[in-house]
Amino acid sequence: MAEPMLEVKRLTKSFGGLKAVADLSFAVEKGSIIGLIGPNGAGKTTVFNMVAGFLPPSAGEILLQGESLVGLKPYATTRKGVARTFQIVKPFRNLSVLENVTLAAFLRFAMRRQAQAEALRIIEKMGLTAKINSLANDLTLSEQKRLEIARALATGPKLLLLDEPMGGLNATEVDQAARLISEICRDGVTIIWVEHVLRAIMNTSHRVVVINYGAKIADGTPQEVVQNPDVIAAYLGKRAQPHAAD
């Protein structure tokens, strides 16, 4: 493997007696898209919360280009180059699209004008230019999901954590979002992507890590993973009926 952007080693998170994440290790190659999948409650979002500093791990190590992220607050991991989106979108609802993204760009640009110019560039890339003056609250869900990504990108991340960016989107919007994610990766951002919409994640990811009950059960190319019997038993098997494949 080439230089890893992120290494997660024996990561564990216990809530009382429950191990939400147990002894999880995986690495993310620089410049790749990694899909992180698993059934509901498998611990995917908990992994994100630990990498981004929203939850302290109970044990284990998280290394961003060899530097530990453990013990850093969310704002500090962002300053190191980790940006995230939320599964349930959390835009600044009473601020405009431009204001939402400009606020994030302040991390890299002290001057308002520069921050705004950068925000406009990213907004255009995310296809939200027509909405720059709309309040975040007035956007459709698909637009809010893109705004969430735009805001994360404005912080200038090396590693982008996407928490179900496709949730609640229709088929056309899913294809559009998948294209955007590939483009972001081509621009040099490494991506870890948690998703329930398997078709999109299988087509777009370079590698897929599958977790169940907080532990890794498979790790490989999308083709390898879908043929893994453990994965089929734990997750894909339940979704094999027609219409249920999203």
3-class DSSP string for 223-245: HHHHHCHHHHHHCHHHHCCCCCC
How many CA atoms does the CB half-sphere of 62 hold within 13 Å? 23
Distance CA 220, CA 115 (A): 39
Interacting positions 93-122 with another protein (CB under 8 A): 93-96, 99, 102-104, 106-107, 110
Antiparallel, parallel or unpaired: β 82-84 and 159-163: parallel
- Please identify, using beta-carbon distances, which residue of 12 and 87 lies nearer to another protein: 87
Q: Considering beta carbons, is residue 44 or 84 the nearer one to another protein?
A: 84
Min CB(143)–another protein separation in Å: 16
Closer by beta carbon to another protein, 94 or else 172:
94
Which amino acid is it at 127?
A: G
Q: Which x/- pattern over 50-69 shows residues binding another protein (rule: CB under 8 A)? A: --x-x---------------
Q: Which of residues 154-173 bind another protein (CB under 8 A)?
A: 154-155
CB of 87 to another protein, least distance (A): 11
Q: Which helix (H) or strand (E) holds 189?
A: none
Q: How far is the CB of 107 from another protein (least distance, A)?
A: 4
- What is the full DSSP assignment across 173-228? HHHHHHHHHHHHHHTT-EEEEE-S-HHHHHHH-SEEEEEETTEEEEEE-HHHHHH-
Pairing state of beta strands 207-212 and 215-220?
A: antiparallel
Least spacing, CB of residue 235 vs another protein, in Å:
28
Question: Which residues in this chain contact another protein in the complex, by CB under 8 A?
Answer: 52, 54, 73-76, 78-79, 83-84, 86, 90-96, 99, 102-104, 106-107, 110, 151-152, 154-155
